Structure 1
Amino acid sequence: MVKEFSLGLGLALLIFLGFQGFNVAPIFFFGILGYFLFRLLSKQSLGSSGRFTTYSVSNQMPEVEFADIGGQDTAKNELIEALDFVRKVDKIKRLGIRPLKGIMLSGPPGTGKTLLAKAAARYTDSAFISASGSEFIEMYAGVGAKRIRELFKKVKSGAKKMNKSSGIIFIDEIDILGGKRGQHSSHLEYDQTLNQLLVELDGMSIDDQVNVLVVGATNRIDILDEALLRPGRFDRIVKVNLPDKAGRQKILEIHTKNKPLAPGVDLEQIAKETFRFSGAHLESLANEAAIIAMRQQSEVVKQKHFKEAIDKVMMGEKLNRRPSEEELERIAYHETGHALLAEKVKPGSVSNITITSRGEALGYVRHNPEDDHYLQTVDYLQGQIAVCIAGAIAEENILGNRSTGATNDFQKATDLAKKIIFSGMSNLGVVSKAELSSDKIHQQIVEIIGLQEEKVKKIITQNEEIMSRIVVDLLQEESMEGQEFRSRFGIETSKIV
């Protein structure tokens, strides 16, 4: 109403001045220019409008519960313990306990940090509002700080409207605004935004009408400012790691509840074959298996659909390109070399061998670790180096030369050799990474890989006949299951030396 009255008054004044003989064109021009500048600045959230107004507190509780999140029992238990302080305010007041102000969820992408934050809101019956760290940073000074203030105001006002005593603010990718201060010399917008967040955290009290809990999520906790993580601000750091085998099986059970599974589907075996898969990977795996089943016009999702889905999630979709017969033979020998050495290093570890092009790989061997490894011995690392270089050695011994297909294998072997060196397991003993010269590192890498090359050459030479038979079958069938590989050539592979 005020805007309309002001606009009408301004137009009337311009008409009056025009009738009095004044040149109103410059006034009209600068007025229009000022209006557009005001609108532009408003869109950058310098006023009350703009992108920030899209934040709102939902009137409905998030549908996610802790029971819907699998593979994170340790993180859930630690988070629930912290959230009980929010639910039992009267009890913590009697005991003189300072309320938790912030909880930091730290872990790799796709492990369920956002789901945990939503489940926390439902568990505590709190008003919930979410934001991303990137939404607080603009080129204009003061914008991020203003948005932080408005975020806390919105969650408090939203909680009051919903008759709730607590609110949860979830900030995803908090490392964008919470990085170490002083790193951005161009302007202080990052530092001002972080300072405002620290001020808001310090201003929170147990006697507030609405108790606010800030939940942050990051996969780069190492770059966060120390002031943000000190006690009294983000009091708890909850590790949300990649799930173990039992956790992966639980996640698969959750994501296959709404899918018709064939009687022969073994989720435990699938969990075993998906080492280092995150929750997001496993959800995608279940979805891709159902898509493959639909594509093959199957009424149920079978074990073979999950097998193919694992390959697709790991390597990508099958490609239309087909190498020449000569290249296919080389690829078959290369992958057979990998599989042969894998069985030598750890019997039963090969899950699948294929020469079908998928993603960036012309062929590959998928391994099946029986147990998750958290510590690696020098024997294990040396064995992995042998597996990496076995493809190139097989090409050289049988076909006469190597190819560029082993480039990634050599890079992995080099990384494993460096791990041996920097873990103090090489001939150099315990060393300082910073003080070791590049020439010395290169010399040790050549020595470590060279030792494994001699062992691999001996194994390949003694088992060329076995490899040739495997290659013939691969060229005809394009893939071979690990169990079939072991049952068909079990007598010979058991004699690998």
Structure 2
Amino acid sequence: MIKEWVIGIGVAVLLFLAFLGANVLPLFFLAALAVGFWVMMERRTAVPAVSRDAPVKHQVSFDQIGGQDHAKRELMEALDFLRYRDRIKSLGIRPLKGILLTGPPGTGKTLMAKAAATYTDSVFLSAAGSEFVEMYVGVGAQRVRDIFRRARAMAKKENKDSAIVFIDEIDVVGGRRGQFSHQEYDQTLNQLLTEMDGMSTTTTPLVLVIAATNRPDILDSALLRPGRFDRQIRVDLPDKDGRLHILKIQTEGKPLAADVDMEHIARETYGFSGAQLEALVNEAAIIALRQDKKEITQEMFRDAVDKVLMGEKTGRRPTEEELQRVAVHEIGHAIVSELMRPGTVSHITIAPRGNALGFVRQIPESDRYLYTVEQLKQQINVALGGCLAEELHYGNRSTGAQNDFVQASSLAGTMVKCGLSRLGIVDEEHLQESVLDTEVRYILSEQEKETRELLRPYKDDIANFANFVVEQESIDGAVFRDWLEKTVQPAVKERVAAIPMLPPHTGEVGLNA
């Protein structure tokens, strides 16, 4: 409004001077420069668009978020400090200033912040960390001051005693000063620290900061101390029950066929985030649309899992000889996996997806977080099964096992660093590379011998079944188990112990190096 008045008066003055016969051209030029400078300064100091509008209204509730029961419970408890201020005050509890949501991408941190806006009767403003970053000095700090000022003003305007400011990807401006930032970023962070717990901080209305990041390790220590971010809530990948809950939420209202088994899909999707599960359900529905079907079947979900894990099918056309070799390779993985833990092979395919020419997908018996030396060795065996099956059948290996070797070497290195090798307990920081390399080679050599002996009884049968896999392109784990039961050797059954598997190994055959 002030800008319009100034421009109007200025134009009137110029017209009056022109009417009197004065040379107004220099004045007109200076006025144009002043207006241009004014507009530029307004753009530089402008706050994020989302904070200029009315408080954001999100219709997301905590009931709509699956797989994060612990994180939701912690966040709701913290938000109760805003809802029940009188009770909290009577107990002498200091109100929380900030809540930091951390965890892998796609686990629902932003969604939980939206649910917080629905749960609490507070003014809610949101912005991304990148919106506070500018090339002009002082702009970021000004935007921080402005969003807090607006939060307090809106709370007073709506007669509320609290406001929530949500900052997504706070690591952009909250990195450790002098290490992950430069001077302008430091000024912005300093202003944020002052607003959260500084001399001018007020308790009425109270401003609660909710921030999200997947890089808490780079945040400045002053930002993480009590009095600023009082709570750090881990929003982690969901377990099997959590994945099942998310799948039920995502498939609500979708036409599912009678053969769809959500429990089976939840087991197959070990390590999936909430975002990946949402993408999985969406891809299954797209497959149904592509096939002109009215219902989503279990097979469509199976193909959707492959797509989310490995990517879309590629246009590569391997030769018959390459397809045969890939099939032999994948059967090697599948045999070792099934011998170690019956019922774990879910799907075998030689259809190229992403960078893989084929892969075996496994179903873990349960989500595991600790592993013994025997379990690590068994997983190395599974990784080596593909190349050793090629060696038994063709007498040589191919470059397709490159990813398997990387995984096997990583597992062997984990054994050494965790004190599960011949070296015993070691200090990883002072462990010489030559000693580590020697021990890793020894572990891989021993497991290679063991895996070769496991596969040797199947040398003649692998080739015949590989022909069947090439014809079908993809086969279900149940079909593979039927074949394995008919060809399994009693001596092999006696040697193999039923040891729980590690997280599923895709057994993929990569492209040539």
TM-score interval for Structure 1 and Structure 2 normalised by the shorter chain? over 0.9
| Alpha-carbon distance in structure 1 between the residues aligned to 2:353 and 2:31 | 62
How far apart are the structure 1 equivalents of 2:298 and 2:189?
Answer: 50
CA contact (8 A) 1:184 1:190 kept: no
**Other structure's SS at 1:280 match:** helix
- The equivalent of 2:338 in structure 1 is 343
CA distance, structure 2, for counterparts of residue 184 and residue 107 of structure 1: 20
318-327 vs 29-38, which moves further: 29-38
Within-5 A mapping of 1:113-152:
113-152=109-148
SS of 2:146's equivalent? helix
Helix, strand or coil at the partner of 1:463: helix
SS in 2 for 1:351: strand
Q: Which moved more, 1:357-366 or 1:27-36?
A: 27-36
CA distance in 2, matches of 1:460, 1:289: 36
Which of 249, 263, 285 matches 1:268?
263
CA deviations over 1:357-409 (Å, ceiling 9, x no partner): 11111000001101001011111111111111211122222112221111111
Measure, in 1, the Cα distance between the counterparts of 2:40 and 2:18. 27
Shift of 1:461: 2.1
> Conserved in 2, the CA contact under 8 Å of 1:255 and 1:283?
yes
What corresponds to 1:370 in structure 2? 365
Using a 3 Å threshold, how does the CA distance of structure 1 residues 44 and 403 change in structure 2: closer, same or farther? farther
1:156 corresponds to which of 152, 155, 174: 152
**Displacement of 1:29:** 5.6
Give yes or no for contact 2:48–2:127 (8 Å, CA) kept in 1: no
Deviation at 1:345, TM superposition (A): 2.2
Q: Is the 8 A contact 1:331 1:362 kept in 2?
A: yes
Paired residues of 2:417 and 2:427 also in contact (CA < 8 A)? yes
Question: After the TM superposition, which residues 309-458 of structure 1 pair with which residues of structure 2 at under 5 Å, given as runs?
Answer: 309-458=304-453
Match of 2:170 in 1: 174
Q: State how far apart, in whole Å, the 1-side matches of 2:9 and 2:461 are.
A: 91
2:477 matched to 1:482?
Answer: yes
- How many residues of Structure 1 are paired with residues of Structure 2 in the alignment? 489
Q: How does 1:27-38 map to 2 (within 5 A)?
A: 32=32, 35-38=35-38
Structure 1, gaps ≥5 residues long = none
Structure 1 residue 235 displacement after superposition? 0.8
Cα distance change on mapping 1:53 and 1:485 into 2, 3 Å: closer
1:57–1:155 contact (8 Å) kept in structure 2: no
- Determine whether 1:466 maps to 2:461: yes
- Corresponding position of 2:501: none
Q: In the alignment, is residue 5 of structure 1 matched against residue 8 of structure 2?
A: yes
Q: Describe the SS at the equivalent of 1:103.
A: strand
Q: Distance in 2 between matches of 1:59 and 1:340?
A: 58
1:245 corresponds to 2:248: no
**SS of the residue 1:288 aligns to:** helix
Equivalent residue letter for 1:313 = V
- How many angstroms does 1:37 deviate by? 4.6
Inter-partner Cα distance in structure 2 for 1:206 and 1:494 = 75
* 2:328 counterpart letter in structure 1: Y
Identical positions, percent = 51
Alpha carbons 2:56, 2:124 under 8 Å: kept = no
CA RMSD of aligned residues (A): 2.3
Q: Highest relative contact order (Cα 8 Å, sep 6+), 1 or 2?
A: 2
The 8 Å contact of residues 101 and 204 in structure 1, kept in 2 or not, is answered as: no
How far apart in 1 are the matches of 2:82 and 2:22? Answer: 69
CA–CA distance in 1 between the matches of 2:7 and 2:233?
Answer: 53
Pick the aligned partner of 1:281 from 265, 271, 276: 276
1:488 Cα deviation after fit: 2.9
The Cα offsets for residues 232-285 of structure 1, whole Å up to 9 and x where unpaired, read as 111111111100000000000000012011112110110000000000011111
What's the TM-score, normalizing by structure 1? 0.93
Contact 1:418–1:445 (8 Å) recurs in 2? yes
Once the two structures are TM-superposed, the CA of residue 296 in structure 1 deviates from its matched residue by 1.2
Cα distance, 1:205 vs structure 2? 9.7
Which runs of 5 or more residues in structure 2 are unaligned?
496-513
- SS state of the match for residue 169, structure 1? strand
Instruction: Determine the structure 2 residue equivalent to 1:78.
Output: 74
